[in-house]
């Protein structure tokens, strides 16, 4: 089995997408968590911002990250002809 | 069913589960009618528990199977949506269902570490593991380690780690089962454990993963209905809006305002709180003084103190017209007196700490990392982030969760399935913080300031059932409830919400059934993981690779039984603290599995030596740290960089990653066939590809 240039490109694209989404995940979790006390004065829907993120905002971001990954990878599979048969 | 196509199968599943949900709602209505007709609460509790356990057993019987692929991976045809629900139930344990809102109630922002950690981990599952494991497509996680790194050593370490963390976790679940069964039926805890175990076994014993999957979907539906109804009701009661997750921000503002009033001695209510706190402060100081005297005086001091109590009781009895209640109290003080210096130290330390917690001002619910100075705050922040990371990485490493992604029909479905998993988990996890705030608002405004003469009914009801969940004493004898006079156990929040919201008993029964569903479904998945690791990885792959199918399955089922009974036995001894057990399982899994799994996919150079070093080193480090620092083991060594034992996975993971990288670089690159295996898992479909999927 020899990987073609196209296959390598597919994997590069996958790595880039994974990297970007992980960076968003990291910011939503750890950067906001680290600065939680400094962001306390911002209010959203009645919540202090860090509390809102910890209880709801970051969770929504996680759900969206996973949805977006599944959506774009399933599309990328087809583009690069590495998708599975339909069943 | 073999002739059905995947989409027909999907459609009929949707039909079955819609009927099922409708049937379940009808069942709740019937029980509600029975309640109105005057059937006693205890009977209603029995009906709920019996009906749901029988239902799970029924699904188990219907899904019985003798096919290997059905038994281990539910035939690999579980659609994304349903695998998502099953994963949700598999995932949400008794700790999530009953404990989480309580933890949030008690610790405010800092408790959100669990909410973040137990959801954000799915990002790692989705991006780094699930699609690749699905493409690999065998039966267990050690299977992957065995194939990717070659040889029996990585597989064996995988088996050991899988059993270690699943067993720690399953004990916490069975404990939850025992707690719920005993509380709602009045059976003894030990008996409750074994009754619940019966429910778990019928299901997984007959049909393995297939039965567990379809039961878990049913359990998810019950647990989410049970969780949401009381919270929505409570939200309507306090805000008029039936979407608690949107409405509670403004309730939180009111809670914060209320905290300020109660903390301010210039207000009349604040002054009364301060009075009660002063009483606690005195008690704290009294206990601390006794501790100090014990340190210097030792056994002599203890004997003297006991002598004083005995003397006091004797004096009281000598009086001609002594109050019998006072005599009883004096006698009790003598019998309750600690037997030796160690017991005295523990008891007084506990009393001092308990009083100290009550002597301080109320912690603000929304404030992150509250502490007296920057050092204390930074320590809290560090532990918060460390715990979040351990829980997240642990999520992406717990074998019973990863195994679920073997059951989808394709890589594409596996990716979608992680999305559905997190979506269904999210529904509960973003409601829990709302419940905590709404319950807090109720306590702070309706309970605090009310008269002891007419407490709400739920307060008395729970105070008589269990003092650790709810106790309330008029410390300053003013007849009015102050916040510092109330002691609430975390588990109370979810269990008592229906009553706090003023809902009929049927909803309380429903919540109990939901908690039971959460504990049973997680226990199912965990027991199956342990039994499969032993039967598939140890027996079939390492001892007898030519074993016929029937023998493999009967060994698997036999082991399931042995493991379940053993776990129930250990649970009935009531070891340790539930939340610690759960957290420990995550740290252990994160240290042992994550580095080897993730690098196995993303770094072709990772080899056998690296895996062995990384897994053994990571797991070893984490276990060592917990053993040295967790008070239960009695060593109490100093902490490393102030990191609590529950987050020991931080060190385990670091050693794990270093081990895999260093070990791999020091030895030769893996052979070509292994590199091809890595390419194989990276692409959902390759021409001329090797095949790894096990039928």
Quote ipTM for the complex.
0.93
Judge if pTM exceeds 0.80. yes
Whose CA is closest to B251, among B439, B502, B9, B15? B439
Chain B residues whose CB is inside 8 A of the A54 CB are 109, 112, 115-116, 433
Whose CA is closest to B421, among B83, B26, B31, B123? B83
CB B434 within 8 A of CB B244: yes
Over residues B182-192, the pLDDT tens digits come to 777 777 777 77
Judged by CB atoms closer than 8 Å, whether chains meet at B127 and A22 is answered as yes
CB B634 within 8 A of CB B627: no
* Most trustworthy range by pLDDT among B168-177, B211-220, B480-489, B545-554: B211-220
CA distances from B108 to B89, B97, B100 (A): 25, 17, 11
DSSP SS3 for B241 = coil
Is the Cβ of B420 closer than 8 Å to some Cβ of chain A? no
Whose CA is closest to A76, among B175, B131, B542, B398? B131
Q: What pLDDT sits at residue B140? A: 86
Is the Cβ of A64 closer than 8 Å to some Cβ of chain B? no
CB B38 within 8 A of CB B520: no
CA distances from B676 to A10, B210, B689 (A): 16, 31, 9
| Length of chain A in terms of residues written | 87
Kindly report the average pLDDT of chain B as a whole number: 84
Q: What pLDDT sits at residue B3? A: 56
Judged by CB atoms closer than 8 Å, whether chains meet at B683 and A7 is answered as yes
Percent over 90 (pLDDT), chain B: 13
Q: What pLDDT sits at residue A61? A: 95
Whose CA is closest to B132, among B392, B400, B415? B415
CA distance B466 to chain A (A): 30
Judged by CB atoms closer than 8 Å, whether chains meet at A21 and B115 is answered as no
Check whether A87 has a pLDDT greater than 60: no
Cα separation, B309 vs B634, in Å, equals: 31
Check whether B80 has a pLDDT greater than 90: no
Cα separation, B337 vs B335, in Å, equals: 5
Looking from the CA of B52 toward its CB, the CA atoms found within 13 Å total 35
CA distance B313 to chain A (A): 53
Over residues B281-297, the pLDDT tens digits come to 888 888 888 888 887 87
Range B636-664 burial, b when 16+ CB lie within 10 A, else e:
eeeeeeebbbbbbbbbbbebbbbbbbebb
Q: Which residues pair with A44 in a beta bridge?
A: A47
Spatial CB neighbours of B11, under 8 Å, sequence gap ≥ 6: none
Cα separation, B228 vs B552, in Å, equals: 42
Quote the Cα angle for A86-B1-B5, to 5°.
Answer: 15
Judged by CB atoms closer than 8 Å, whether chains meet at B120 and A70 is answered as no
**Mean pLDDT for the stretch of residues B463-482:** 80
Check whether B465 has a pLDDT greater than 80: no
Look at phi and psi of residue B528 and say left if phi exceeds 0, alpha if psi is from -120 to 50, else beta: alpha
CA distances from B271 to B282, B363, B474 (A): 17, 17, 15
Spatial CB neighbours of B116, under 8 Å, sequence gap ≥ 6: A29, A33, A54, A58, A59, B388, B391, B392
**Mean pLDDT for the stretch of residues B355-381:** 83
DSSP SS3 for B695 = coil
Chain A residues whose CB is inside 8 A of the B131 CB are 73
Cβ-based burial of B666 (10 A; exposed 0-12, middle 13-18, buried ≥19): exposed
Q: Which residues pair with B451 in a beta bridge?
A: B480
Chain A residues whose CB is inside 8 A of the B419 CB are 63, 66-67, 70
CA distances from B7 to B3, B11, B117, B415 (A): 12, 6, 35, 18
Cα separation, A65 vs B426, in Å, equals: 13
| Length of chain B in terms of residues written | 695
Over residues B629-653, the pLDDT tens digits come to 877 777 777 778 888 888 888 999 9
């Amino acid at each position: 089995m020899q990987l073609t240039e196209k296959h390598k490109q597919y994997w590069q694209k996958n790595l880039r997408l994974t990297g970007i989404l992980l960076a968003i995940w990291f910011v939503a979790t750890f950067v906001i968590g680290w600065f939680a006390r400094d962001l306390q004065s911002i209010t959203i829907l009645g919540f202090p911002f860090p509390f809102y993120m910890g209880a709801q905002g970051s969770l929504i971001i996680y759900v969206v990250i996973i949805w977006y990954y599944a959506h774009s990878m399933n599309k990328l599979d087809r583009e690069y002809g590495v998708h599975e048969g339909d069943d | 069913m073999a002739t059905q196509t995947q989409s027909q199968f999907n459609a009929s599943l949707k039909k079955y589960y819609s009927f099922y949900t409708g049937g379940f709602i009808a069942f709740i209505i019937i029980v509600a009618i029975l309640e109105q007709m005057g059937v006693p609460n205890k009977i209603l509790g029995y009906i709920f528990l019996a009906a749901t356990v029988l239902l799970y057993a029924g699904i188990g019987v219907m899904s019985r199977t003798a096919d290997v692929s059905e038994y281990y991976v539910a035939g690999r045809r579980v659609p994304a949506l349903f695998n998502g629900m099953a994963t949700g139930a598999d995932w949400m344990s008794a700790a999530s269902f009953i404990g989480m809102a309580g933890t949030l109630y008690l610790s405010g922002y800092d408790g959100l570490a669990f909410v973040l950690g137990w959801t954000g981990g799915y990002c790692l599952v989705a991006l780094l593991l699930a699609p690749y494991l699905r493409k690999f497509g065998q039966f267990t996680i050690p299977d992957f380690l065995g194939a990717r790194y070659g040889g029996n050593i990585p597989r064996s370490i995988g088996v050991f780690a899988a059993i270690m963390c699943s067993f720690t976790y399953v004990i916490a679940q069975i404990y939850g089962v025992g707690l719920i069964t005993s509380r709602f039926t009045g059976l003894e805890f030990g008996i409750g454990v074994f009754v619940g175990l019966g429910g778990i076994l019928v299901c997984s014993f007959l049909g393995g993963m297939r039965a567990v999957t379809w039961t878990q979907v049913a359990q998810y539906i019950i647990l989410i209905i049970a969780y949401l109804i009381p919270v929505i009701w409570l939200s309507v009661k306090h805000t008029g809006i039936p979407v608690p997750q949107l409405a509670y921000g403004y309730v939180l503002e009111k809670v914060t305002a209320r905290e300020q009033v109660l903390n301010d001695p210039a207000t009349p209510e604040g002054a009364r709180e301060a009075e009660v706190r002063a009483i606690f402060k005195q008690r704290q100081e009294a206990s601390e003084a006794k501790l100090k005297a014990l340190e210097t005086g030792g056994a002599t001091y203890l004997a003297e103190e006991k002598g004083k109590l005995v003397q006091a009781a004797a004096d009281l009895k000598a009086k001609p017209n002594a109050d019998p209640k006072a005599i009883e109290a004096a006698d009790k003080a003598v019998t309750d007196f600690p037997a030796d210096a160690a017991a005295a130290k523990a008891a007084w330390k506990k009393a001092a700490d308990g009083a100290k917690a009550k002597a301080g001002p109320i912690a603000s619910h929304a404030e992150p990392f509250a502490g007296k100075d920057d050092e204390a705050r930074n320590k809290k922040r560090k532990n918060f982030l460390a715990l979040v990371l351990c829980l997240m990485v642990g999520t992406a490493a717990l074998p019973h969760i990863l195994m679920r992604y073997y059951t989808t029909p394709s890589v594409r479905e596996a990716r979608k399935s992680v999305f559905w998993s997190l979506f269904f988990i999210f529904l509960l996890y973003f409601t829990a913080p709302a419940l905590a705030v709404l319950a807090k608002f109720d306590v702070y405004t309706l309970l605090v300031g009310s008269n002891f003469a007419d407490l709400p009914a739920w307060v008395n009801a729970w105070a008589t059932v269990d003092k650790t969940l709810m106790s309330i004493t008029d410390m300053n004898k003013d007849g009015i409830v102050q916040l510092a006079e109330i002691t609430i156990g975390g588990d109370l929040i979810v269990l008592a919400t229906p009553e706090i919201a003023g809902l009929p008993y049927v909803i309380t029964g429903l919540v109990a059934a939901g908690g039971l569903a959460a504990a049973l479904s997680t226990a199912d998945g965990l027991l199956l993981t342990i039994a499969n690791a032993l039967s598939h990885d140890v027996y079939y792959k390492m001892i007898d690779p030519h074993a016929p199918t029937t023998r493999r399955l009967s060994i698997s089922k036999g082991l399931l039984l042995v493991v379940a009974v053993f776990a129930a036995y250990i649970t009935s001894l009531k070891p340790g603290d539930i939340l610690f057990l759960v957290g420990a399982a995550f740290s252990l899994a994160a240290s042992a599995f994550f580095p080897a799994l993730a690098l196995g996919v993303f770094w072709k150079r990772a080899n056998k030596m690296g895996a062995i070093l990384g897994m053994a080193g990571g797991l070893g480090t984490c276990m060592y740290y917990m053993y040295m620092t967790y008070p239960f083991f009695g060593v109490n060594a100093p902490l490393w960089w102030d990191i609590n034992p529950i987050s020991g996975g931080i060190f385990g993971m670091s050693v794990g990653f270093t081990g895999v990288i260093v070990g791999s670089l020091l030895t030769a690159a893996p052979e070509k066939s292994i590199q091809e295996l890595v390419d194989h898992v990276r692409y959902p479909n390759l021409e001329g590809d090797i095949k790894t999927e096990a039928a």
